[in-house]
């Protein structure tokens, strides 16, 4: 019964989010869809620091894309109003940018031709609390989660938020208080200690992935390690949080 209730609430949340995003799509600046079709995302690099006490996320998001319809002088991304972009870079050089009606446009360091690769990085900060990003507690401990389906990724990170352009890979480097554990996409390649009292979890997703599937689940989890043995031989590690 509780499971059915949870699924019903989840479905309602997704439906509300979908309706909000449809309205947001309708209010996009003229030409935004065309501008986004001029490039193909190859990789997202997400570096974030989550502080549950003031509920603030500090981000650097890097987008690597290939131009499919040049010349490209500006890279446009979906980005909600909950977070604020503070700086941007194109090919490592400071870049100017604008935000209008959910579209973040970064002015590139030069015009890029068809087939060339573009790299932009965006620094941002804010509280993305919403139906797609939650700051909760369980048994007195922080429980931080994302639920980006269908168009909620833009709430908490700048991206080309459509399932029709999957990034080839995604890197997530997530820093949290040291008592918390981060579960995310792909393979956990390591855990580092940037400063006393914090840990950074390094996750790497190496298969094509839509933006709404990029996710975080953060809590002082118990971890259970298991192994799957396929019929054809070999093994696959399985980690339960």
In tens, the pLDDT along 72-103 reads 999 999 999 999 999 999 999 999 999 999 99
How high does pLDDT run on average in the chain?
92
Give the range among 19-28, 71-80, 151-160, 231-240 with minimum mean pLDDT. 19-28
Band of the pLDDT at 156, cuts 50, 70, 90? very high
| pLDDT computed for residue 17 by the predictor | 60
Of 64, 99, 58, the residue nearest 78 (C-alpha): 99
**pLDDT tier at 4, thresholds 50, 70, 90:** confident
* pLDDT at res. 18: 62
pLDDT score recorded for residue 153: 95
The per-residue pLDDT for 16 is 67
Global pTM value: 0.89
Q: Pick from 98, 115, 116: which is nearest to 106 by CA?
A: 98
The residue that leads in pLDDT, 203 or 35, is 203
CA distance 88 to 118: 13
pLDDT at 125: 97
Q: Rounded to whole angstroms, how far apart are CA atoms 151 and 19?
A: 10
Q: What per-residue confidence (pLDDT) applies to 21?
A: 59
pLDDT digits (tens, 9 = 90+) for 10-65: 677 666 666 655 665 665 666 777 889 999 999 999 999 999 999 999 999 999 99
pLDDT digits (tens, 9 = 90+) for 119-133: 999 999 999 999 899
Cross-strand bridge partners of residue 177: 198
217 pLDDT above the threshold of 60: yes
As a whole number, mean pLDDT of residues 157-174 equals: 96
- Tokens in use for 213? 């599937």
**Which whole-number Å values give the CA distances from 58 to 14, 87, 156, 203, 208, in the listed order?**
26, 12, 10, 18, 26
Burial (CB < 10 A; 0-12, 13-18, 19+), residue 177, is middle
Q: Answer with the residue of higher pLDDT: 220 or 30.
A: 220
8 Å CB contact between 208 and 200 = no
């Amino acid at each position: 019964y509780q499971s059915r209730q949870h699924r019903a609430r989840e479905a309602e949340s997704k439906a509300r989010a979908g309706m909000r995003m449809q309205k947001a799509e309708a209010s996009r600046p003229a030409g935004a869809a065309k501008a986004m079709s001029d490039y193909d995302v190859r990789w997202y690099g997400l570096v974030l620091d989550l502080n549950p006490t003031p509920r603030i996320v500090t981000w650097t998001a890097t987008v690597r894309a290939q131009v499919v319809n040049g010349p490209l002088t500006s890279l446009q991304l979906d980005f909600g109003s909950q977070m604020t972009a503070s700086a941007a870079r194109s090919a490592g050089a400071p870049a100017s940018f604008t935000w209008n009606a959910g579209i973040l446009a970064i002015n590139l360091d030069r015009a890029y031709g068809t087939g060339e690769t573009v790299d932009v990085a965006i620094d941002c900060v804010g509280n993305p609390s919403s139906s797609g990003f939650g700051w909760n507690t369980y048994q007195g401990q922080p429980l931080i989660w994302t639920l980006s389906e269908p168009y909620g990724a833009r709430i908490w990170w700048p991206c080309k938020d459509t399932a029709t352009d999957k990034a080839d890979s995604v890197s997530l480097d997530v820093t949290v208080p040291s008592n918390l554990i981060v579960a995310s996409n792909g393979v956990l390649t390591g855990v580092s200690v940037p400063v006393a009292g914090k840990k950074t979890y390094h996750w790497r997703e190496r298969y094509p992935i839509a933006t709404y599937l990029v996710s975080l689940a953060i809590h002082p989890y118990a971890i259970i390690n298991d192994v799957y043995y396929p019929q054809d031989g070999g093994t696959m590690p399985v980690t339960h949080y």
